[in-house]
Amino acid sequence: MTQGPSCHIVVIGAGSTGAAIAHDLALRGLRVTVIERAGVASGTTGHNQGQLHSGARYAVSDPVAARECVIENRILRRIMPQSLELNGGLFVGWTEEHFSYRSNFLEACARCEIPARELPVPEALRLEPSLNPRIHTAVEIPDGVFDPYRICLSFLASARSRGAEVLTFTEVVGLNPPRGEVSVIFRQTRKKMTIGADLIVNAAGPWAGRVAALAGAKVEVEASAGVLATVDERVCNKVLNILCPPADGDIVVPLRMSSILGTTSWTVANPDDISIPEGHLDQIFRVAQGLVPGIRRYPLRGVMTAARPLMVQSGTGGRSASRGFACYDHAGEGVPGLMSIVGGKTTTARAMAEMLSDRVCEKLGIRAECRTQDVPLLPHRLGVVR
Amino acid sequence: MKRGTLLRIHRAAGWADFRVEVRGGAYVLEALEEAWRQDPTLLFRHSCHHGSCGTCGMRINGRERLACLTPIAVIGDPGRPIRLEPLRNLPLIGDLLVDLSPLAQGIETTNLPLTRMVGDGDGDGTPVFPFVRFENCIECGLCLSACPIAGHDPRYLGPALLAAAGRIVQEPRASDPGSALAQVDREHGVWRCHAAFDCTEVCPTGVDPAGLILGLRGRLLAHARKGKAR
């Protein structure tokens, strides 16, 4: 049986990774406190295109991430069906270059066990009348759409129902993992407090390096920024992707009554201060216009930018970097009591949480199986915290 | 090209001015983030930056708006500060930060699902296959803040909750429209609304709470008439 309840884990960050970890650990019977310096999903997760990946986008370039996506896609459909717009997705092509990518793409999808089915062009145009009428290829894949903020709330609602505490607007100002101490400041009252932890988990996304540094530990994470633009019209129901290797602005995601276009990719030094480079909005619209020729007719609704926390591997960066994830135990560098997790995507947040929570339990000698694959999440509204 | 903007923010100690530089075409939320970089004690909520999460609601120059959807160029008079105040009728935490959990819990009592089915004949375009999409309501609280009744009747169920019940009656899905009607058929429910329509006016996603409330009243009156006729 678990000795879980005696162990207290402090999770830093209430994005999709931190929220999923809180849910996983609470479900295994551990005591969890989540600390977030602003509101839930106020960082990378919130500023998210909302694409529930089928994995097809990464099938050719990053098959490991592609496989993770298609597996997690199925699991999320099971545990949070009410929180997803499940209308599928299309990869469409209209140039010769797109056509030459086609067989490569279909073979890669098959290798990654991603269900991909070619649709006759007239059928695709009937389903999505705003699509470029000159397309020669349309492949249907099981993409979907999620509401990033509300995914986090659902994970947190479930964690809280099992005793987890979520402290928002609470900033970590000091870390002493060997002694199990997390020093925080409550932003509202400016009061300081030290929270005791048996283990500290750093799930701060692109800020993970900064958090680790508070403990004298090192996390290498590349902050890869992207710009997204939203128009005031639902131009499609399926997620529309261009049949080409991942590139700037090649996806249109319908969400509620609007559509999100994006994204771009460049490395930034400070994820707190990302200014939108000249030309990025134009670039996004120029590419999206290929998919949906009428896209410029609709009023611009909003513009956003955030940094993806990419795993650093030598020789890669930005677009070509893996969307995979990794966790680190800092005991190896002389800082026991601290683990970090970087990389990944909101689609794979549950899997990231499973991997990290397995490591946490192993480290603490707790025998508890992961159950997040099967336990349905609670409604997001129960996860709204002060 | 960066432009200077003056934000006048309502804080615990009174009004505080922030002079910030933002890109042309920037939204109020971007200016607010710039102010936060100057003063990290500033409290406000934000997540999606495109009017989907519903967390950055506030009063901008006296009117309820989402900061992420309000372009500075549209709201700002050159040379005059943009006034930012927290939403009303929700517990104030500090600065522009209010507690949205009472609102969320209220809406949850209606059991409104997050998603709706849309089929043929919805809206102006006719989709060729039934599809699922998220409900319009983003649970931001703008309607509750703008409502003149909610301001002086704390027991009033409020426009967001009533609109959620209205959506269940329109499209019941697995829920019971009878219990949604029973929930709102009371003095501090649909009958308390004075049809000021401020809720509908400030809603950033076209929910039309006032219209839904009037629709619920119509349904309840029709039920009552049927009951009498019997």
Q: Give the model confidence (pLDDT) of B52-105 as tens digits.
A: 999 999 999 999 999 999 999 988 787 899 999 999 999 999 999 999 999 999
> If you average pLDDT over residues A241-262, what whole number do you get?
94
Look up tokens 């717009």; give the residue.
A85
Cross-strand bridge partners of residue A93:
A137
> If you average pLDDT over residues A56-80, what whole number do you get?
96
Coil/strand/helix, residue A100: helix
> If you average pLDDT over residues A66-95, what whole number do you get?
96
- State whether A385 and B136 contact (CB < 8 Å): no
pLDDT at A6 over 80: no
The CATH superfamily of A7-44+149-220+323-383 is: FAD/NAD(P)-binding domain (3.50.50.60)
**Residue A128 CA: distances (Å) to CA of A253, A360, B127:** 13, 46, 9
Residue to test with chain B: of A84, A153, A303, most B Cβ within 10 A: A303
pLDDT at B127: 57
Look up tokens 């804080």; give the residue.
B11
Banded pLDDT at B125 (limits 50, 70, 90): low
Banded pLDDT at A312 (limits 50, 70, 90): confident
pLDDT at B228 over 80: no
Quote the minimal CA–CA distance from A156 to chain B in Å. 13
Question: Could you give the CA distance from residue B103 to residue B159 in angstroms, rounded to a whole number?
Answer: 10
Q: Give the model confidence (pLDDT) of A257-286 as tens digits.
A: 999 999 999 999 999 999 889 899 999 999
CATH fold of A87-145+222-311, please?
Answer: D-Amino Acid Oxidase; Chain A, domain 2 (3.30.9)
pLDDT at A335 over 80: yes
Look up tokens 């771009």; give the residue.
A264
pLDDT at B121 over 50: no
pLDDT at A1: 37
A29 phi, psi to nearest 5 deg: 95, 10
User: Which residues, including other chains, have CB under 8 Å from residue A30's CB and lie 6 or more apart?
Assistant: A4, A5, A7, A8, A9, A360, A366, A368
pLDDT at A2: 40
H/E element holding B9? strand B2-11
**DSSP secondary-structure letter at A302?**
E
Q: What pTM value is reported for the model?
A: 0.95
Banded pLDDT at A322 (limits 50, 70, 90): low
pLDDT at B209 over 80: yes
Chain A residues 325-344 with CB within 8 Å of chain B: none
pLDDT at A170 over 90: yes
Pairing of strands A137-141, A89-93: antiparallel
Domain-wise residue ranges, chain A: 7-44+149-220+323-383, 87-145+222-311
Q: ipTM of the predicted structure?
A: 0.95
Banded pLDDT at A172 (limits 50, 70, 90): very high
Chain A residues 81-120 with CB within 8 Å of chain B: 82-87
- Contact residues on chain A for B107, CB-CB shorter than 8 A: 381
pLDDT at B119 over 70: no
H/E element holding A76? helix A63-79
Q: Do A7-44+149-220+323-383 and A87-145+222-311 agree at the fold level? A: no
Chain A residues 229-248 with CB within 8 Å of chain B: 230, 234, 237
Joined together, the tokens standing for residue A340 give 């970090």
pLDDT at A15 over 60: yes
Look over chain B and give the mean of its residue pLDDT values, rounded to a whole number.
93
Q: Cβ of B1 under 8 Å from any chain A Cβ?
A: no
> If you average pLDDT over residues B135-163, what whole number do you get?
97
Please state which of the ranges A89-98, A117-126, B68-77, B152-161 shows the lowest mean pLDDT: B68-77
Are residues A72 and A347 in contact, defined by beta-carbon separation less than 8 angstroms?
Answer: yes
Banded pLDDT at A4 (limits 50, 70, 90): very low
pLDDT at A311 over 50: yes
> Which of A127, A149, A234 has the CB atom closest to B55's CB atom?
A149
- State whether A149 and B41 contact (CB < 8 Å): no
Are residues A305 and A277 in contact, defined by beta-carbon separation less than 8 angstroms?
Answer: no
Pairing of strands A251-255, A239-242: antiparallel
What percent of chain A lies above the pLDDT cut of 90? Answer: 91
Question: Where are the alpha helices (H) located in B7-118, listed in sequence order?
Answer: 28-38, 72-75, 101-108
User: Which residues, including other chains, have CB under 8 Å from residue B192's CB and lie 6 or more apart?
Assistant: B149, B153, B156, B157
Chain B residues 45-74 with CB within 8 Å of chain A: 45-53, 55, 68-69
Joined together, the tokens standing for residue A273 give 């201060």
Among A100, A88, A105, smallest CA distance to A136 is for A100
- Contact residues on chain A for B27, CB-CB shorter than 8 A: 302-303
Q: Is the peptide bond before A263 cis (omega within 30 degrees of 0)?
A: yes
- State whether B68 and A187 contact (CB < 8 Å): no
Question: Where are the alpha helices (H) located in B129-208, listed in sequence order?
Answer: 142-146, 159-170, 177-184, 198-202
A360 phi, psi to nearest 5 deg: -60, -45
